[in-house]
Amino acid sequence: MIIKDIVSKKTWYNQILKTTESEKRSLFAWMQAVKRIGKGTGKMVSEYRKIAQDEMEKCKDTIPVWIMPLNRVIENIKLSRKLFDVIIYDESSQSDIFSICALMRAKKAVIVGDDKQISPEVVGVDQGVIQGLINKYLKDIPQNEWFDLHTSLYDTALRVFPNRLILKEHFRCVPEIIGFSNMLCYSNEIKPLRYPKPSEALYPPIVAVKAEDGYREQNKAVNIPEAEVLVSKLVSCCKDKKYKDMTMGVISLLGDVQSEIIENMIRERIGEEEMIRRKIICGDAYSFQGDERDVMFLSMVIANNVKFAPLTRESDIRRFNVAASRARNQMWLFYSVELKDLNKSCVRHSILNYCLNYEKYNKRYINLEYVFQSKFQKDVYNMIKDKGYDIIPQIKVGGYKVDFIIEGNRNRAAIVCDEGIIDNGDDIKKNMEARLNLERIGWYFLRIRGSEFYYNPEKTMERLWSRLKRIGVESYNREKTSKETLRVV
């Protein structure tokens, strides 16, 4: 962490030294103009936008990377021959065709999106008017019928540039949570690389809670009993030390009226200050697109007293995909109907069935009698266990199989038992890529060579204890159960 801060501060220091006085004045003038623009409703807004654009042209090369939403890009960076090298457009599956204008400001573009997540929704716009504009101004443009407000920037880029790079590694959710979206939308091709630290791990990672007296009101999408059960559980979690400093969010799976009622209930129970501290937001799936929380609470809202239709459209599936993939550590689903009451083709049935039976889809429990592949692994395991470390054997994270994980409160280490067996070239490359991905998100890899271990086991393991101490992985002095002290023979 210290090295990271030093690199960051030294980089900015050198950048400041390279900035001329003229560029500094332009940067300050640009900042002042942006402040004056504010919400964009004043009489002088157009004048300040022009000032912001002029000053930006003079100083935009001073800052190597600019990060801003689309409206700021249009307000601040005018079209000119002085282009950026690359523009990276995130959440492009949410952006409509209007966002194409941002691409005109760079030589190259990277379009990042997911066609299995929420697309632009057009509300209150006359599609006839849009089609008239297409026919009038885009008649010579190939496939101009797709330049409507329903088509996302991601879809447009995919149509024009069909080659794409698919990112399969998933870093946000624990495997059990992302498992639903993986089955629903991604044909189980996603590789979850998140393995929570002891301070983050919550069990069970998925909890389905039925509101026994739940019912939906006749004229609006509100289920008060279900909301009350949800709020009680959320408040209980806030008081539980296991959830200390964890962020939380609430998603209504049927409209946003339910989420508004839940938000008011939460505010009455825990207060505004606690809601801000835990970043509690209550909304629908659109409210959380591109966002995440440590713990998410989902409300299905529907009940048998009011007829409901099955949700089978592609847009419904995308919405549930977003809702079910926002939680990092734990997801709660609150419902008021039985699984048998739901149509099997309905996405509601899919998510409730998964939450009730997720352990069947995520078999992570192992039998120590059969898990080790060699005597070397058994001997290493026993020595580490005898030393008092919290060790877990044979863990698979993403596509990478780790011999052992040793966990401390702050960090963890992956132990690789090197028996000198040479893999083929493809396996070496695949394992190296997977290992680099895990190191990138904070894993430490420590290797124990079989030849060194059997030549001098005490000296070899002393080196391991020293390295574990250096990276902050501690052994535990605790009263051990028979399972915890299990030796493999």
Give residues with Cβ within 8 angstroms of 4, minimum separation 6. Answer: none
Q: DSSP of 281-296, one letter per residue?
A: EEE-GGGGTT--EEEE
Domain residue spans of the chain: 1-160, 174-361, 371-488
Task: State how far the Cα of 90 lies from the Cα of 88, in Å rounded to an integer.
Answer: 6
Place of tokens 């501290």: 277
Q: 119: part of which helix (H) or strand (E)?
A: none
pLDDT at position 487 is 44
* Residue 169 DSSP symbol: E
**CATH for 371-488 (3.40.50, 1.10.3470, 2.60.40, 3.40.960):** 3.40.960
Residue 386 phi/psi, 5-degree rounding, is: -65, -25
What phi-psi label fits residue 234: left (phi over 0), alpha (psi between -120 and 50 degrees) or beta?
Answer: alpha
Give residues with Cβ within 8 angstroms of 168, minimum separation 6. Answer: 189, 190, 191
Neighbours of 227 (CB within 10 A): 25
Identify residue 318 by its one-letter amino acid code: R
pLDDT at position 481 is 36
Place of tokens 């992956």: 414
pLDDT at position 371 is 61
Give residues with Cβ within 8 angstroms of 289, minimum separation 6. Answer: 91, 94, 117, 118, 322
pLDDT at position 482 is 37
CATH superfamily label, 174-361: P-loop containing nucleotide triphosphate hydrolases (3.40.50.300)
If you compute the radius of gyration of the chain from its CA atoms, what whole number of angstroms results?
27
pLDDT at position 160 is 84
Q: In 60-109, where does DSSP find H-type helix? A: 70-76, 100-103
pLDDT digits (tens, 9 = 90+) for 192-204: 888 887 778 899 9
In the predicted model, residues of the chain with pLDDT beneath 70 are: 1, 122-124, 361-371, 373, 398-399, 421-428, 430-431, 476-489
* Cis peptide upstream of residue 225 (ω within 30 degrees of 0): no
